[in-house]
């Protein structure tokens, strides 16, 4: 990550470094909305012109007050922005699914690490 200490606030740029098929890219998005309540925390960001995809992603953590259970939700809507992403559409989607899966695994590992 380019700046792991950056604050999660509206307007903040988010840079994600990605290695795909031996090529490294940096994709920039901007945080549009932040939700920070006692039961829900998360943010929505949209891609910028400096991103291979065009779209939005929402990351949410929700606490069920009755059960104490925490849910992590990741929602994404996108389409290829540049020629390489369009040509490699099936591969691009595979990487997006892997990102979602890895994101959930890392969130679970972080929670379990803090519990132990």
- The pLDDT tens digits of the residues spanning 57-81 come to 999 999 999 999 989 999 999 888 8
Specify the pTM.
0.78
- The band of 1, judged by pLDDT with boundaries at 50, 70 and 90, is low
- The pLDDT tens digits of the residues spanning 84-115 come to 778 878 877 888 888 889 988 988 888 777 65
How high does pLDDT run on average in the chain? 87
Answer for the pair 48, 28: CB distance below 8 angstroms, yes or no. Answer: yes
- More confident position, 58 or 22: 58
**What are phi and psi for residue 27, nearest 5 degrees?**
-115, 130
**Which residues neighbour 111 within 8 Å (Cβ) at sequence distance 6 or greater?**
70
The rounded distance, in Å, linking the Cα atoms of 73 and 69 is 13
Answer for the pair 26, 15: CB distance below 8 angstroms, yes or no. Answer: yes
For residue 55, give the 3-state DSSP assignment.
strand
Q: Where are the domains of the chain?
A: 13-115
Chain centroid offset of residue 18 CA: 12
In the chain, the percentage of residues whose pLDDT exceeds 90 is 42
- More confident position, 38 or 17: 38
- More confident position, 26 or 11: 11
């Amino acid at each position: 990550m380019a700046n792991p200490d950056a604050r999660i606030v509206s307007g903040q740029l988010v840079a994600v470094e990605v290695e795909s098929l031996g090529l490294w890219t940096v994709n920039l998005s901007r945080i549009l909305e932040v939700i920070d309540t006692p039961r829900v925390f998360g943010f929505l960001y949209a891609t910028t012109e400096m991103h291979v995809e065009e779209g939005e992603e929402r990351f949410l953590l929700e606490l069920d007050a009755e059960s104490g259970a925490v849910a992590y939700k990741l929602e994404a809507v996108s389409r290829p922005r540049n020629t390489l992403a369009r040509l490699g559409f099936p591969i691009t989607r595979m990487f997006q699914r892997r990102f979602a899966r890895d994101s959930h695994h890392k969130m679970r590992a972080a929670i379990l690490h803090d519990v132990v």
